[in-house]
Amino acid sequence: MRHLLRAAGFLLALTLSVPASFAADQPIVGLITKTNTNPYFVKMREGAKKKAKELGVDLRTFAGKFDGDNQTQVQAVENLIASGAKGILITPSDPEAIVDTIEKARKRGILVIALDTKLSPADAADATFATDNFKAGELIGQWAKKKLGDKASDAKIAMLDLSTSQVTVDVARDQGFLKGFGVDVGNPNHIGDESDPRIVGHDVTGGAEEGGRKAMENLLQKNPDVNVAYTINEPAAAGAYQALKAAGRADDVLLVSIDGSCPGVKNVRDGVIGATSMQFPLRMASMGVQAVFDYVKNGKKPAEGKDGNFVNTGVELITDKPEDGVPSKSSKWGLDHCWG
């Protein structure tokens, strides 16, 4: 009997010594990204995992098989509902198609935070934690206009967008750039309706290097006098640069982009990209996990009372050719804070 009591005492002591992070009542939080291979989402998972470990949260991660894979994201949300999740963080592949499934989760009392990309409508989520993508575009537009000086009034601008689907992040970056450059955008929620003669045209890249190369080739054929190229992201910019180099135009076209990846910042340092706007995916996901944890503790939702329940997770212009009136950081700073 004494042996049994000693054994029971040992097991009780062992149970009491188990850290809170391994307790059975850990709140379940789901992170659903567009893919699991893009370095941006890899960094996002890293931020979420670190914060989840710190707080004692049971983080479960899911990802689409490809960018645009809505069905896999729908299945992930349903899985999390069935698992009794307290919160879902999602970078929606299709911001409109996922809404009905998100509504099911919220009706179960699950806090839903869109990361990086707003749902459509934005208030289909409890909050959006993201880069101010309009501001990111506006910064590179302002920089490009300043850099061109008097030549900005008769610039020839190539717009290398993401897709034809008018995805919220695509629209915001495109329209932000044009506004920063001084172009009347028409409907700010729609790409391609501007009438400014400086716009050579729009083409789509799929956010990929090969897509950027093809889009740049197409727009150069449309107007070989292009001297400014806006790109939706840095892989598209890398492809655009290859097309410009092949055409002998690499040195006289101002190339701007958005992302803040380490390869992209290196391209700023090496003179391939003139300026890029850096976003912070690790911070974005970390803040999301913290928000769910706080919601479980005190029932308070993030961003209550803010316009559109939007939480800006920060953006910085990265360039080694600063312009007065446009705040920026150097590529050296960028390499210390980049992702991927």
Q: So where are the chain's domains?
A: 13-131+281-304, 133-278+316-337
Instruction: Determine the average pLDDT of the residues in 172-179.
Output: 98
Write down the CATH number for the domain with range 133-278+316-337: 3.40.50.2300
In this structure, is the dihedral angle defined by the CA atoms of residues 202, 325, 155 and 276, taken in order, positive or negative?
negative
Q: To the nearest whole percent, how much of the chain has pLDDT over 70?
A: 91
pTM above 0.85, yes or no: no
With 50 as the cut, is the pLDDT of residue 109 above it? yes
Confidence of residue 283 (pLDDT cuts 50, 70, 90): very high
13-131+281-304 adopts what CATH topology? Rossmann fold (3.40.50)
pLDDT at 308: 62
| Residues 293/299, Cβ–Cβ less than 8 Å | no
13-131+281-304 and 133-278+316-337 have identical folds = yes
Secondary structure class of 231 (helix, strand, coil): strand
Confidence of residue 304 (pLDDT cuts 50, 70, 90): low
With 80 as the cut, is the pLDDT of residue 13 above it? no
Instruction: Determine the average pLDDT of the residues in 247-261.
Output: 97
Distance between CA atoms of 291 and 283, rounded to whole angstroms?
A: 12
Which residue has better confidence, 160 or 25?
160
Instruction: Determine the average pLDDT of the residues in 280-303.
Output: 94
- Where does residue 287 rank: exposed (0-12), middle (13-18), buried (19+ CB within 10 A)? buried
With 50 as the cut, is the pLDDT of residue 93 above it? yes
pLDDT at 4: 40
Q: Helices 133-148 and 168-181 meet at what angle, rounded to 10?
A: 30
Instruction: Read off the pLDDT of residues 16-40 as tens digits, 9 standing for 90 and up.
Output: 333 343 445 799 999 999 999 888 9
Instruction: Determine the average pLDDT of the residues in 266-281.
Output: 98
Distance between CA atoms of 340 and 338, rounded to whole angstroms?
A: 7
Give the H/E segment covering residue 220.
Answer: helix 209-222
Indicate the average pLDDT of the chain.
91
Which residue has better confidence, 122 or 212?
212
With 50 as the cut, is the pLDDT of residue 3 above it? no
